[in-house]
Amino acid sequence: MTATPDRGWPGPAELTSIALASGLFIWFFQAIPAVSSGETLRWSWAWAPSLGVKVSFYLDGLSLTFGLLISGIGVLVMLYSARYLRGHRHLARFFVFLTSFMLAMLGLIMADSLLTLFVFWELTTITSYLLVGFDHESRKGRRSALQALLVTGAGGLALLAGIILIGTVAGTFELSEIRAMPSILTQSTLYLPILILVLLGAFTKSAQFPFHFWLPNAMAAPTPVSAYLHSATMVKAGVYLLARLHPSLSGTDVWLWTLTIFGAITAVFASVLALRQTDLKQTLAYTTLMALGSLTLLLGNSIGYAITAAVTFLVVHSLYKAALFLVIGIIDYRAGTREVEELSGLAKAMPITATAAMIAALSMAGFPPFLGFIGKELKYAGALAVASEPVLVAGAVLLSSALMLAVAGVLALKPFWGPPKDTPKSPSEGPWAMLLGPVILALLGAISGIWPDLIAQPLVTQSVAAILGEPEEAKELKLWAGINLPLLLSLVTFALGILLFVFSRRLRLSLITLTERMPKFDNGWDQLIKNVLLVARWQTRILQTGHLRHYILVTFSTVLLAMVVGLAASIDQFSLNLTMPDLGIEQYLLIALVFMGTGLTVVVRSRIAAIAGLGVVGISAALIFILYSAPDVAITQLLVETLIVVLFAAAALRLPSMKPDPVSKRPLDAVLAVGIGGAVSCILLLVTSGPIDLELTEFFQTASWPQAFGQNIVNVILVDFRALDTFGEVAVVLVAAISVYALLKAPKRTEKE
């Protein structure tokens, strides 16, 4: 990694990005009063009016909450990055990627049109690929970035198919309009395919089991990127999609159980694996999976407690997770390692960092008076309110929360307290630009817990209203809700979590031994990619033989197959009129001329003679146009045919002499030629046997002179009404001419060659 001279202040790229993120945060902040009163801000522009497609955005409680988190944490991460990556030769490029990613996320969460949402969805995929693979010289970075791109990209394709089906069923792509028809999707026969496709998109983006494996590998990204992606942006996109489509897709058993089961598995599975890790950054990555699983589990319900818990925990997780990631970045930056077994006693050298880590970890563990405690209480209340299986859901929440407490202890206590250990670098406090983020975020978690009303009405209540449709469904955020079952479950969580923390080292060693014997998803991914490459190589060997004859054979065989399948699909509508029309002597002469030209092309061995026979067929076609009063088309056909003959003849002179084709290949050629000819003939007869819609013909006849000022309808169609088609045809001819020129410029090959 080559570094540039260390600058004392951020450069133009960094300052521009920080200023933009700050401006966006201020804009979202000033919208709080309007949104808190129940107002929804809207913007819309026509994209494809003829298709009814618009670029539309709106700002309600849910998008405002995400917008404040994305822009606010974005400002702190950018300040942090300016110092963390100071001197990096690609620092300006990094800020371009980071800013683009932030804007893509903001476009995603504000999109009203599903098509607009998908565009920004894919932009987040691309920009996150660039960020994860920022250290492109590292093989691990490239692999992790490609893995994230392929997994989330595949999910994006599934989401696109789901969006198309939603638009087909609802008759619109506007989320606000679909929301006004709450049962139109659930009552549709396409509900199950829509749900599967949407969940594939959401689960791959938010790394739900079994698509979880890409997210820990994304830790190859620089620490500021990990903090941003894991706290409020990339991985929350899938959660946002589930929340946004909740009014339209929820309320069914398949929605409830799919989200509950997969969310519970992800939460518990990830919490266990988090305790197994020794790299602090990897530990946090698995806790992110736990949080995403919990959010998915809660969004499976339509209960006020569950949805309030989901929104509250969303805010809680964003604050403490970003703070802890930034803390770990400071530890790595100043101590030179992230391995928990190599860290101890850093609090004396890094008191501010240790304090920020402790406050954030207490919120993560769910201790009062932090916002994490309120979120945990609400999670238990929401789990117990599930009518179907409250014990199962509450048990999953309890186990994952206890494991989370143990992990929080590992993150906040092990590196900072205890006897000091030797580290690769002499530890010291981080610079102010790096300390600002974790301190502010940790304090926000504490302040929001003590005064929950600060976020209750402007963020939580309105977000719940956006998800459930009724602000009254939002539950009150209270630090003390009395002695109840959720409180008792919290006490059990504290006891179990502390016990797990005490034995965390033994558990880690046992889990390492156990997981080494288990099949790894990463190995499965590598095998999948290997098999894909093997198939690609096999396909290349089969198709890319280097022989033009083979390429033509494959191309025309594919065309023939497509036509046969199409004809077979419409066989019940097939009605051919085989009545021979009255033909004159000139028509019979032209038919004979076509057959003779075709026969000459087939039987001769001379290229010039074959080209001449082909030219006869083309000229005969021009004469047919003349007979049927289409002189313009005939002239075009004649000119094109003449040009083809000339080009073919010129190219033939540069080619070696033609070798006779093997006798064994001639029957195949004949079958292919007759098959394509017969299929095309059947299609033409099928088209002409039915009634022909003359609406377009009448339009051209009436519009040619008034609109295009041309009396020749053919020329008007080519030059005016279908100008883009004509332009494309010109481009094709130019490409063909360039190809011929390249062929003629190549040295002449001998017959032996």
The answer to whether residues 128 and 234 touch, using CB atoms and an 8 Å cutoff, is yes
**3-class DSSP state for residue 64?**
helix
Flag whether pLDDT at 443 surpasses 80.
yes
Flag whether pLDDT at 647 surpasses 60.
yes
- pLDDT tens-digit map of 700-746: 778 777 777 777 777 787 777 777 777 887 888 788 778 777 766 76
Q: Which of 108, 287, 302, 136 is nearest to 205 (CA)?
A: 108
Question: Which range among 565-579, 607-621, 650-664 has the greatest average pLDDT?
Answer: 607-621
Average pLDDT taken over every residue of the chain: 83
Q: Which residues does 677 contact at the CB level (< 8 Å), separation at least 6?
A: none
210-224, 290-304, 536-550, 706-720: lowest mean pLDDT where? 706-720
- pLDDT tens-digit map of 585-602: 888 888 888 888 888 877
Q: Which residues does 132 contact at the CB level (< 8 Å), separation at least 6?
A: 141, 144, 145, 148, 218, 220, 221, 225, 229
- Cα pseudo-dihedral 482, 488, 490, 493, rounded to 10: 170
Residue 658: what pLDDT? 55
> Residue 4: which pLDDT band, with cuts at 50, 70 and 90?
very low
CA distance 283 to 477: 29
Residue 657: what pLDDT? 61
Q: Is 438 exposed, middle or buried (0-12, 13-18, 19+ CB in 10 A)?
A: buried
Interhelix angle 631-652/607-627, rounded to 10 degrees, is: 180
Residue 6: what pLDDT? 44
Better-predicted residue by pLDDT, 136 or 652? 136
Residue 76: what pLDDT? 92
> Residue 73: which pLDDT band, with cuts at 50, 70 and 90?
very high
Residue 3: what pLDDT? 41
Residue 5: what pLDDT? 42
CA distance 686 to 573: 9
Residue 67: what pLDDT? 93
- pLDDT tens-digit map of 722-734: 777 778 878 887 8
> Residue 654: which pLDDT band, with cuts at 50, 70 and 90?
low
Q: Tell me the percentage of the chain whose pLDDT exceeds 70.
A: 92
Residue 230: what pLDDT? 79
211-215, 469-473, 480-484, 500-504: lowest mean pLDDT where? 469-473
| Mean pLDDT (whole number) for 619-640 | 81
Determine if the pTM surpasses 0.85.
no
Q: Which of 425, 429, 446 is nearest to 353 (CA)?
A: 429
Flag whether pLDDT at 160 surpasses 90.
yes
Residue type, 336: G
Q: Tell me the percentage of the chain whose pLDDT exceeds 90.
A: 18
| Mean pLDDT (whole number) for 318-329 | 90
| Mean pLDDT (whole number) for 16-40 | 90
- pLDDT tens-digit map of 493-538: 889 889 988 888 888 888 777 777 776 777 778 888 889 889 989 9
HEC sequence for 363-426: HHHCCCCCHHHHHHHHHHHHHHCCCCCHHHHHHHHHHHHHHHHHHHHHHHCCCCCCCCCCCCCC
> Residue 26: which pLDDT band, with cuts at 50, 70 and 90?
very high
300-314, 434-448, 621-635, 684-698: lowest mean pLDDT where? 684-698
CA distance 547 to 554: 11
CA distances from 69 to 21, 28, 229, 246 (A): 11, 10, 12, 21
Residue 122: what pLDDT? 93
Residue 522: what pLDDT? 72
Question: Which range among 269-278, 436-445, 551-560, 678-687 has the greatest average pLDDT?
Answer: 436-445
> Residue 14: which pLDDT band, with cuts at 50, 70 and 90?
confident
- Cα pseudo-dihedral 226, 231, 235, 240, rounded to 10: -160
431-440, 600-609, 646-655: lowest mean pLDDT where? 646-655
Flag whether pLDDT at 226 surpasses 50.
yes
Q: Which residues does 576 contact at the CB level (< 8 Å), separation at least 6?
A: 682, 685, 686, 689
Flag whether pLDDT at 130 surpasses 80.
yes
- pLDDT tens-digit map of 528-571: 888 988 998 998 888 887 777 788 888 888 888 888 888 877 76
| Mean pLDDT (whole number) for 185-206 | 92
> Residue 664: which pLDDT band, with cuts at 50, 70 and 90?
low
Interhelix angle 114-132/91-110, rounded to 10 degrees, is: 160
> Residue 1: which pLDDT band, with cuts at 50, 70 and 90?
very low
Q: Which residues does 158 contact at the CB level (< 8 Å), separation at least 6?
A: 196, 197, 198, 200, 201, 204
